[in-house]
């Protein structure tokens, strides 16, 4: 799809000004999550919108999809690129008659027709096939508090039956669809895979007005309390640099005080730091300062941002940390891709040497939980650079998580307790041993950051075939529900 005309955006925006019980408008930025238990997120951020006759049409293409030849933009290696046309959870497009009727389209090409009548007891057919039917029924109008925002709302319920009218006890049968006067769509359901997947969702965040999880800020991510403890493991490694440039350091912070100003938050903390294998630690008192309103990310969290030089892979998930669920934001840039606004597509970008690998993981209440930057060797006078930082141990709200590294230990005990890899050096096969069997995944990467093997670990001991890997140094990263740990492994082919 081509970039939309500003006139079209203006027309739709004028039609939708003030919301007035419309589900959304062209400039809407909303994020939803699973109902009733939060898990994944579902964003609204339209790729484009225009008028077709008297209908407003919203296009949900926001992810790279089909490979096409670009009309004007030429990418590294040729003119082809991936067009940004893969539909989202709301399907590929939505037609709105600017009164009260909407048409949604599934990935299979089926149509869902929703009529938001306000006549008591009115029931309209949403969708039917040879075996089932779905109806939308108006139930009441009332006030509602959503994300601490008071709004007028209209309440509907979904009725799911078989072809003969008998009720089907599905995940969305009798579930509410809520439309608010100012906030629009408050509670809804996933459209793209309907009716194969029936997933109710509710509003988690809204931009303009900014409500709920509208923006991920320093104030949300670095939300510490007195008594919280965090230990970081930081490594610095130059592929061919002097050993004195490398570092392997553990730093523990214990929060002792908190002061909030107009735009900043200050923490006082004790700091205990030592290098791996060392018997001497430094202890001091420091102040940690964060600009509370500085935005790390905002809706849509999981989308490509065409304004950026490189493609960003985003995600926001509700993840488990030693029994405590926390919103976790992942961002992984890829400088090997660039955006073409003419054809709304992405293609390979010419970079000097291998593109750097970078990934950051922010966890609400814990801070920057994991960060990696890996730059491969580009030419003879550039040694290549690798930096990682991760929280290996924490005490948050009295809950201990991970394993603390102890001064003077030759190895990182947190890593050892999580998993062991043997033999090291290895040849054709290697064994991974973990203390538990739940939620473990292993990633094997080359020194340039390229992921070579990804595997879920369901046994305490798992044998992995590495015969296809060449001799060299590799990173083995184990991810569990408690932590992320990395080990360097040497593969030596005889």
**pLDDT tens, residue by residue, 110-162:** 999 999 988 877 789 999 999 999 999 999 999 999 999 999 999 999 999 99
At residue 454, the pLDDT reads 86
Q: Are residues 195 and 223 in the same domain?
A: no
Q: Are residues 387 and 424 in the same domain?
A: no
Q: Are residues 368 and 254 in the same domain?
A: yes
> Percentage of the chain with pLDDT > 70?
85
In a domain, 264, yes or no: yes
State yes or no: pLDDT of 234 exceeds 80.
Answer: yes
In a domain, 1, yes or no: no
Lowest mean pLDDT among 39-48, 235-244, 304-313: 304-313
Give 347 or 352, the one with higher predicted confidence.
347
Give the domain extent around 461: 419-494
**pLDDT, tens digit, 9 for 90 and up, residues 368-425:** 999 988 776 555 455 567 889 999 999 998 888 988 888 765 444 444 455 778 777 7
Q: Tell me the C-alpha distance between 118 and 122, whole Å.
A: 7
In a domain, 389, yes or no: yes
Give the residue ranges of DSSP H helices in 169-222.
218-221
Report residue 241 CA to chain centroid gap.
35
CATH number at residue 460: 2.60.40.1220
Domain boundary among 193, 213, 233: 213
Place of tokens 């089932």: 132
Q: Are residues 129 and 267 in the same domain?
A: no
For residue 336, CA distances in Å to 350, 354, 356, 453 come to: 7, 8, 9, 20
Question: What would the two tokens of residue 11 be?
Answer: 């027309």
At residue 309, the pLDDT reads 52
In a domain, 326, yes or no: yes
Q: Are residues 188 and 251 in the same domain?
A: no
- Mean pLDDT on 274-302: 90
Place of tokens 């709302």: 153
Lowest mean pLDDT among 249-258, 299-308, 413-422: 413-422
Q: Are residues 228 and 177 in the same domain?
A: no
Candidates 204, 256, 165; CA nearest to 31 is 204
In a domain, 458, yes or no: yes
Candidates 362, 364, 409; CA nearest to 390 is 362
Which residues have C-beta within 8 Å of that of residue 317, sequence separation ≥ 6? 39, 40, 41, 327, 328, 330
Q: Tell me the C-alpha distance between 2 and 388, whole Å.
A: 40
Candidates 220, 215, 205; CA nearest to 367 is 220
Are residues 90 and 188 in contact, defined by beta-carbon separation less than 8 angstroms? no
Q: In which band, very low, low, confident or very high, does the pLDDT at 16 lie, cut at 50, 70 and 90?
A: very low
pTM > 0.85: yes or no: no
In a domain, 234, yes or no: yes
Q: Are residues 244 and 335 in the same domain?
A: yes
Q: Tell me the C-alpha distance between 344 and 3, whole Å.
A: 7
Structurally, the chain folds into a number of domains equal to 3
Q: Tell me the C-alpha distance between 341 and 355, whole Å.
A: 22
CATH number at residue 316: 2.40.360
Q: Are residues 387 and 473 in the same domain?
A: no
At residue 86, the pLDDT reads 81
Which residues have C-beta within 8 Å of that of residue 210, sequence separation ≥ 6? none
At residue 5, the pLDDT reads 33
In a domain, 273, yes or no: yes
> Percentage of the chain with pLDDT > 90?
47
Q: Are residues 373 and 452 in the same domain?
A: no
Q: Are residues 137 and 100 in the same domain?
A: yes
State yes or no: pLDDT of 9 exceeds 60.
Answer: no
Domain boundary among 381, 412, 443: 412
Q: Are residues 129 and 169 in the same domain?
A: yes
Domain boundary among 412, 437, 452: 412
State yes or no: pLDDT of 232 exceeds 80.
Answer: yes
Q: Are residues 188 and 231 in the same domain?
A: no
In a domain, 10, yes or no: yes
């Amino acid at each position: 799809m081509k970039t939309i005309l500003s006139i079209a955006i203006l027309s739709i925006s004028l039609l939708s000004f003030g919301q007035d019980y419309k589900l959304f408008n062209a400039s809407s930025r909303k994020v939803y999550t699973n109902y009733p238990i939060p898990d994944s997120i579902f964003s609204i951020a339209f790729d484009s919108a225009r008028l077709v006759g008297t209908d407003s049409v919203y296009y949900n293409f926001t992810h790279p999809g089909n490979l096409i030849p670009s009309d004007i933009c030429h990418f590294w290696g040729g003119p082809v690129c991936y067009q940004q046309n893969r539909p989202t959870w709301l399907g590929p497009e939505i037609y709105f008659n600017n009164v009260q009727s909407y048409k949604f389209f599934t990935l299979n090409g089926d149509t869902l027709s929703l009529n938001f009548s306000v006549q008591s007891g009115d029931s309209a057919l949403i969708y039917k096939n040879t075996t089932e039917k779905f109806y939308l029924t108006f139930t009441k109008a009332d006030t509602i508090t959503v994300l601490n925002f008071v709004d007028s709302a209209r309440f509907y319920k979904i009725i799911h039956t078989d072809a003969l009218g008998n009720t089907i006890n599905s995940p969305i049968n009798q579930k509410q669809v809520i439309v608010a006067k100012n906030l629009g769509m408050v509670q809804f359901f996933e459209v793209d895979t309907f009716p194969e997947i029936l997933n109710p969702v509710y509003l988690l965040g809204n931009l303009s007005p900014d409500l709920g999880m509208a923006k991920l800020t320093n104030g949300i991510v670095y939300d510490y309390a007195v008594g919280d403890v965090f230990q970081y493991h930081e490594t610095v490694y130059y592929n061919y640099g002097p050993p004195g440039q490398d570092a392997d350091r553990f730093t523990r912070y214990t929060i002792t005080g908190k002061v909030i100003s107009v735009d900043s938050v200050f923490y006082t903390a004790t700091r205990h730091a030592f290098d791996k294998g060392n018997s001497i630690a430094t202890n001091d008192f420091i102040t940690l300062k964060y600009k509370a309103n500085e935005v790390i990310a905002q809706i849509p969290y999981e989308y490509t941002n065409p304004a950026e030089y490189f493609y960003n892979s985003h995600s926001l998930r509700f993840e488990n940390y030693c029994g405590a669920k926390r919103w976790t934001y992942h961002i992984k840039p890829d400088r090997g891709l660039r955006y073409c606004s003419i054809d709304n597509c992405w293609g390979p970008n010419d970079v000097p040497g291998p593109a750097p690998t970078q990934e950051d993981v922010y966890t609400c209440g814990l801070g920057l939980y994991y960060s990696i930057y890996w730059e491969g060797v580009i030419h003879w006078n550039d040694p290549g650079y690798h930096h990682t930082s991760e929280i290996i141990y924490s005490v948050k709200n009295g809950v201990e998580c991970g394993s603390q590294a102890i001064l003077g230990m030759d190895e990182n005990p947190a890593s050892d307790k999580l998993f062991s890899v043997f033999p090291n050096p290895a040849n054709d096969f290697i064994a991974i041993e973990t203390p538990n069997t739940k939620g473990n995944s292993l990633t094997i990467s080359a020194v340039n950051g390229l992921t070579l093997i990804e595997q879920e670990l369901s046994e305490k001991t798992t044998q992995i075939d590495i015969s296809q890997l060449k001799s060299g140094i590799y990173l083995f990263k184990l991810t569990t529900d408690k932590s992320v740990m990395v080990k360097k492994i040497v593969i030596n082919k005889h």
